Structure 1
Amino acid sequence: MTPSMTDRGTDALHRIATRKAMLRLIPLMGLIYFMSYLDRTNVSLAKARLAVDLGISAAAYGFGAGIFFVGYALLEVPSNLVAHRVGPRRWIARIAISWGALSAAMMFVQGEYSFYTIRVLLGIAEAGLFPALMYMITLWFAPKDRSIAVGWIYTAPALALFIGNPLGGAIMQLDGLAGLHGWQWLFLLEGLPTIVVGVILWFKLPEKPSDARWLSVDEARALEARAVPDSARANRLSNDWVAALKQPATVLTGLIYFLNQVAFVGVVFFVPAMIQQMHVQSPFMVGVLSSSVGVGVLLGVLIVPRIHRRGTHDCLYLGVLTGGLVVSAILFILYTWLPVRLALFVITAFFGGGVLPVYWAISMKRLQGIQAAAGLAFINMIGLIGGFVGPYLFGLAESASGKSASGFSVVVIASILGLLLVPLLSQAIQSEGREVNLNQPLVDAEQ
């Protein structure tokens, strides 16, 4: 058998194994991320009733919505290092069960301080979920397939916004049933299923290809071999997780992601309030119209990674997407007609959500092993701080102007700052690549 025939056979085996992994693994990973986003953002639908029933102001709501990300961010790196040590299956299941219980406990909020407390605890419980999922991607998929895999996982929050907002609006209409407010039913009925999903993951989620019963031995080996294509570099770097946190490209990716989250998370948490101020009164209709953001994210995460897969200029592509976010936000400020603003919700979410898989695909090309566990968690930690800052700034903007839509000025400023950092990221990645080439042993070049 000629080498070319062997290569073709290996490629075909890897394609089959990758397809199986996409069909069997990604739905489980997407399911838990769907539940996390549902439990994380359902508070946006409760905003108006929390103000009426508990006296929680717009600024206090923005602070409470965002403070979730503080506890989440501070424990990202330690949590993902634990996931690397004990295995992502056990750790992800533990995360799901604990945060599902706390999400349901949101029904017991009595005022601002209890609101803040449970939101912080919810963030602490969920810490490490997303980077653990991203770490699993590095164990299962070749670099060229990762943006597609991450894009499929990102359909989960898109569907959570698309399905969850109308569903949450319908649940809110249970107000008064069994003496509970509608928002109490919302937190209870969307928190308890997460505990069930966590139990399912404990039994059904394989940690690595060799653990999957639905893969043959050869298929598992093919996946694991392609998941770390540069074995020499991985062996040199993967044992030093602190080094991943010091790399300029890692820090810059985190800062750009931070600015994206300032803009995008702020929009997500305040879209229902914006729609209510457009004279839409029915909680169900508010939920339905708010799902326009989910439509935009869904289109973005399905389309953007497939275009990115065909290109080679990562940072140029990243800059184009960030620029699109700037333009859509400016247009939203300029036009106030409801149909136009609904369309711009979709477009803004397309760019703001669609760019997310690109961040992770760029980062995964550079990080392997424990460096991937630490580096990806560090990037997510920085981004999550943006998840706190964004809603808080949106809340301050609404308190100052009386209009939720004034928060779009935050989107414009944050996106422009992110766009200015993209050339610096490109230089850092190029410099890092030159350093790796200089340190490459001669035996590698001869091979």
Structure 2
Amino acid sequence: MKTIPINDADESAIAQRCLARVRLRVIPVVMLLYFVAYLDRNNVGFAAPELRHDVGLTAASFGFGAGIFFIGYFLFEVPSNAGMHRFGARRWMARILVSWGICAAALALVRSAWTFDLIRFLLGAAEAGFSPAILYFFTLWFPERERARALGFFVLTQPIANAIGAPVSGLLLSMDGILGLHGWQWLFILEGIPAVVLGLLAPFLLTDRPEAAAWLPDDERRWLAGRLRDEAGSRTAAADNGFMAGIKDRRFMVYAALNFGLICGVYGLSVWLPTIVRALSGMTALGTGFLVLVPYSVAAVATFVVSRRAARTGKIAQHASISIAVAAAALVGAGLTLPVSAVASMACLCVACAGIYASIAPLLAMPSGVLCGAGAAAGLAVTNSVGNLAGFLSPYAVGLLKGWTGGDRAGLFFLGACLVATSIGVFFYARHRPEGLLRTVPASPL
């Protein structure tokens, strides 16, 4: 059959319709899945005071147990992403969701420090591969220029999950005594169930690749598949894109180190923020839940604005570096104002949350543009798994510093120092690299 030529205006219209349809179909599902993941990963921070009291955990032992999640995550991340590449998004994400939902609910069985450590480790092993699988999934659906914006919506889920999860967790903690269970047990059980349900629905909600998308019209499906093929071809011409190539590529290790520094701030703050806010305000668990909503709401707005601006200008490394620097300064400010003014300290925590979460999407967009195919799946798993070791280090380190000093200032200074180093690293390494300065790739002919 003879192909009918299509002019630039028609092709641009097809591209706009296609990307709008893909955004509407793919992003809400991914946001919902990640919302549940982030809720189950971080709800331990809201349960901390009651859990520590009932089980007898010190600040250091709680920080260790909260962070050991990421050891399980690290050990199983690369094998899990290999499974994602082998079996496809629908089946593999279903497996991840069901297994982590069961482990999340099982935290209600904690009776001692070692059972807390064990179940948190198993939760990390079960969820391993989910975040890099999403990043890899986005490379299969979004052209490079569009990817930073799509990742912005993905990352936006994190502060939204914390903002919504804060009052919800506070309400669930108030169920203390119902059916003989503690409030923190209800929190883990009721927030673990949605992951299992979504796991059963995942095969019906996700499509592995554009070529299999019956919900896309033929012209849009051909355009998107061709555009992604062109971008993959431009990278394949310059590099081996096999699975082992992604593991060996040094660029992914550099981004893993930068991701490590950022995640120190993300999880060091998210795990301990409810405790810090509760100490500042003197409120109950429910009141603290509503108050913690404020910094995460500010972070959600900042994430949306910065990710869109980074995608529009293409200067994603610059946006990441500046956002991280702002967060670092705000964490130091929060530490300095803790003994002086609760209001000033809370304001600094709001700015810190905004800077941290606004930087995630631009930082994640860079390694996703290094390779394609199996190489991207492996490399993104390396970046995420090594980086997520900070999720073990930072809550534990903050817990140790809190135990040694009897306050929160030293922990905030530590997190600020981690972010300063990360901001400098992003600025000097990625600012002038191709993946740090987005380029426009010519559209594929239909």
Question: Would you call these one fold, judging by a TM-score over 0.5?
Answer: yes
CA distance in 2, matches of 1:346, 1:33: 22
Q: Given that residues 246 and 377 in structure 2 are in contact (C-alpha distance below 8 angstroms), is that contact kept between their aligned partners in structure 1?
A: no
Residues 126, 432 of structure 1: CA spacing in aligned structure 2 closer, same or farther, 3 A cutoff? closer
Distance 1:211 1:273, change over 3 A: same
Map of 1:104 onto structure 2: 105
* Residues 382-425 of structure 1 deviation map (CA, whole Å, 9 limit, x = unaligned): 22101111101110111011113431111121012112322442
Preserved CA contact (<8 Å) 2:246 2:374: no
* Identity of matched residues, %: 32
CA distance in 1, matches of 2:333, 2:407: 17
The answer to whether the Cα contact below 8 Å between 1:300 and 1:351 also exists between their aligned partners in 2 is yes
Q: Matched residues in 2 for 1:178 and 1:231: separation?
A: 56
* Distance in 2, Cα, partners of 1:217 & 1:70: 45
Match of 2:391 in 1: 387
Residue number in structure 2 paired with 1:438 = none
Q: Give 1:31 shift.
A: 0.7
Instruction: Tell whether the 8 Å contact from 1:289 to 1:342 is kept in structure 2 after alignment.
Output: no
RMSD of aligned Cα (Å): 2.0
Where in structure 2 are the equivalents of 1:110-189 lying within 5 Å?
110-189=111-190
**Partner Cα separation in structure 2 for residue 69 and residue 257 of structure 1:** 14
Distance 1:316 1:279 in 2: 36
Shift of 1:124: 0.2
Q: CA separation in 1, counterparts of 2:435 and 2:200? A: 45
Q: Which runs of 5+ in 1 are unaligned?
A: 434-447
1:267: Cα distance to partner?
0.4
What is the aligned partner in structure 2 of residue 80 from structure 1? 81
Q: Which amino acid letter does the alignment assign opposite residue 74 of structure 1?
A: L
Distance 1:287 1:405, change over 3 A: farther
- Residue 323 of structure 1 corresponds to 325
Counting matched residue pairs gives: 431
TM-score when normalising by structure 1? 0.92
1:11-22 → structure 2 map (5 Å cutoff): 11-22=12-23
Partner of 1:442: none
Of 284, 287, 300, the residue aligned with 1:285 is 287
Q: 1:238 to 1:217 in 2, by over 3 A?
A: farther
The residue correspondences of 1:338-417 to structure 2 (distance < 5 A) are 338-417=342-421
- Kindly tell me: are residues 389 and 230 of structure 1, through their superposed partners in 2, closer, same or farther at Cα, counting changes over 3 Å? same
**d(CA) in 2 for partners of 1:77, 1:36:** 18
Q: Alpha-carbon deviation of 1:292?
A: 2.5
Q: Does 2:260 match 1:247?
A: no
Distance in 2 between the 1:352 and 1:20 partners? 30
Whether the 8 Å contact between 1:292 and 1:342 is mirrored in structure 2 is: no
Residues in 2 aligned to 1:239 and 1:327: alpha-carbon distance in whole angstroms: 39
Runs of 4+ in 1 over 6 A off after TM superposition: 430-433
Match of 1:274 in 2: 276
Could you say if the C-alpha distance between residues 35 and 394 of structure 1 is closer, same or farther in structure 2, counting changes exceeding 3 Å?
A: same
Distance change (3 Å), C-alpha of 1:5 and 1:430: closer
* Residues 427 and 204 (structure 1), Cα distance of their counterparts in 2 relative to 1, 3 Å cut: closer
Q: Give the secondary-structure state (helix, strand or coil) at the position aligned to 2:433.
A: helix
Residue 431 (structure 1) shift: 11
Equivalent-residue separation in structure 2 for 1:411 and 1:315 (angstroms): 21
Moved more, 74-83 or 274-283: 274-283
Displacement after TM superposition at 1:8 (Å): 2.2
Any gaps of 5 or more consecutive residues in structure 2?
A: 438-446
Change (3 A) 1:232 1:192: closer
Greater Cα offset, 129-138 or 405-414:
405-414
Counterpart residue type for residue 135 of structure 2: M
Are residues 427 and 11 of structure 1, via their aligned partners in 2, closer, same or farther at CA, if it must alter by over 3 Å? closer
State whether residues 253 and 425 of structure 1, in contact with CA within 8 Å, keep that contact through their aligned partners in structure 2. Answer: no
Report the CA distance between 1:282 and its aligned residue. Answer: 1.2
